[in-house]
Structure 1
Amino acid sequence: MGRLVPAVTRAFDILELFLDGDGTLSAPEVTRRLGLPRTTVHELLTTLSARSYLAPVPERPGRYRLGVRTYQLGSRYAERLDLAAEGQRVAREVAETCDETVHVAILEDTDVIYIAKVDSTHAVRMVSAAGRRLPAHCTAVGKMLLAALPPAELDARLADRELTAMTPDSLTDPSALRAELSAIRERGIASEHRESNPDVSCVAAPVRDSAGRVVAALSVSVPMIRWSEEREAELAELAAKGAGELSARLGHRGAR
């Protein structure tokens, strides 16, 4: 492995400073925050500006903001992102940590479609499969995605819809579902207990894109023989961490 080039490292350190605050910085602020010599900072800012990675702020003399080249690079990276592929990678990492089944799903109308799945090494009968569609209200990922919808859109999707049951524990009362979705918004984690599979419970967390929109959900599914309140809390934290990692790969800048 080759050595890091100090000048390049410093240039990236400067660029990453612009991810915080109002997105503008002056040379003295960069000098103070990075502890670099003023001459070095001036040279780096001049070079980055000349290459359009930074640009002067016309209405605020002496300050810089990110330039068009950073946007072009970010856009090219975003074009190559594949939610299903990234979801599969993160699901595998989460599954290796807990040895339980991990899913990533998206919402389509009032159903979820599973776009990634990694099975536990334990033999578990699951109703889910990559590419399969299930009623959103019967799954943790689905309830997480429904809870993220704007109220008007949620109303439109649920209007005149019969909530069919997959198991005796499935939610079929619209009022009860809305109450649960409200609770999910408060805590940021969804769960379901034997609602899509009589032998399995799940927890799920939201996956966000670069604009902060919930575009998917990641869940961990556990057979009832290994389920407990303590295990649920552990897996909720793990699902949130995995969803945060997938969100970060999609360009979301919130906390992982």
Structure 2
Amino acid sequence: MGRQVPAVARALDILELFLTGDGTFSARDVVHRLRLPRTTVHELLTTLAARNYLVAVPEQPGRYRLGVRTHQLGSRYAEQLDLAAEGRRVAREVAAVCDETVHVALLEDTDVVYVAKVDSTHAVRMVSAAGHRLPAHCTAVGKMLLASLPPADLESRIGGRELVALTPHSITGHDALRAALAGIRERGVAVEHRESNPDVSCVAAPVHDGGGRVVAALSVSVPVIRWNEDRERELAELAAQGAAELSVRLGHRGAR
């Protein structure tokens, strides 16, 4: 690995500082926060402003905010993101920790579509595949995604529609589903016990994009023979961590 250039590292430290607080800083603030020499800070701020990475705040003399060039870079990064590819990478990391099946799924109308999957190495594991669809209300990922919808959007999707049962444990009542989704919003993770598969339980957490919207969910699926309350708590935390990591890769600033 090559030697890092100190001046570049300092410039990047300054740019990353603008991701905190209200996003505006003066040269004095930067000196205080980063403990850099005053002359160095002024030179770096002048250079970054000249290249449009920073811009002076008109109504606050002496203060800077991020400039248009950082937006252009971020937009290009977002254009190149592939949720499925990033989802597979994070799913592999999560599966390596728990050795259970990990999915990343999207919501399409009232179904979930699995866009990434990494299998457990256990002989007994969930059988599924990327591209597979299931009714959202029967799955942890689906309930997590439904719970994240605005109320009007949720009602337009489920109101008046039959909630089909995949197993005897599936939710089929609209009031029961609404109550379950309210609990998911409060807890921040979704759990389903044998609702889509009589031999499997799952836990799921939300994935946010750069704008803060929930665009996917990440789940860990476990055969009931390896499921208990302690395992549920452990995997709920792991799913939340994995979803947060995927959110960061999609540009979400608040995921961690």
Q: Does 1:139 align with 2:139?
A: yes
Structure 1 counterpart of 2:190: 190
Structure 1 counterpart of 2:85: 85
Structure 2 counterpart of 1:126: 126
Where structure 1 has 5 or more consecutive residues not aligned to the other structure, the ranges are: none
So what's the TM-score if we normalise by structure 2? 0.98
Letter paired with 1:81: L
Structure 2 counterpart of 1:19: 19
Structure 2 counterpart of 1:44: 44
Structure 1 counterpart of 2:254: 254
May I ask how many residue pairs the two structures share in their alignment? 256
Asked if structure 1 preserves the Cα contact closer than 8 Å seen for 2:11 and 2:44, the reply is yes
Quote how far apart the aligned CAs of 1:128 are.
3.0
Letter paired with 1:202: C
C-alpha distance after superposition, 1:83-134 (max 9, x if no partner): 0110011001100110000000000000000000000001235353200110
In 1, the alpha carbon distance for the partners of 2:222 and 2:125 equals: 10
Asked if structure 1 preserves the Cα contact closer than 8 Å seen for 2:100 and 2:125, the reply is no
Letter paired with 2:131: G
Quote how far apart the aligned CAs of 1:3 are.
1.1
Quote how far apart the aligned CAs of 1:60 are.
1.1
- Which ranges of 4 or more aligned residues in structure 1 deviate by more than 2 Å? 123-128
SS in 1 for 2:76: helix
In 2, the alpha carbon distance for the partners of 1:47 and 1:148 equals: 43
Letter paired with 1:102: V
Q: Does 1:110 align with 2:107?
A: no
Quote how far apart the aligned CAs of 1:143 are.
0.2
Asked if structure 2 preserves the Cα contact closer than 8 Å seen for 1:127 and 1:197, the reply is no
Where structure 2 has 5 or more consecutive residues not aligned to the other structure, the ranges are: none
Q: How does 1:216-255 map to 2 (within 5 A)?
A: 216-255=216-255
SS in 2 for 1:58: coil
Quote how far apart the aligned CAs of 1:183 are.
0.2
In 2, the alpha carbon distance for the partners of 1:72 and 1:154 equals: 34
CA RMSD of aligned residues (A): 0.8
Q: Percent identity?
A: 79
Structure 2 counterpart of 1:149: 149
SS in 2 for 1:59: coil
In 1, the alpha carbon distance for the partners of 2:126 and 2:25 equals: 52
So what's the TM-score if we normalise by structure 1? 0.98
Structure 1 counterpart of 2:34: 34
Q: How does 1:170-189 map to 2 (within 5 A)?
A: 170-189=170-189
Structure 2 counterpart of 1:53: 53
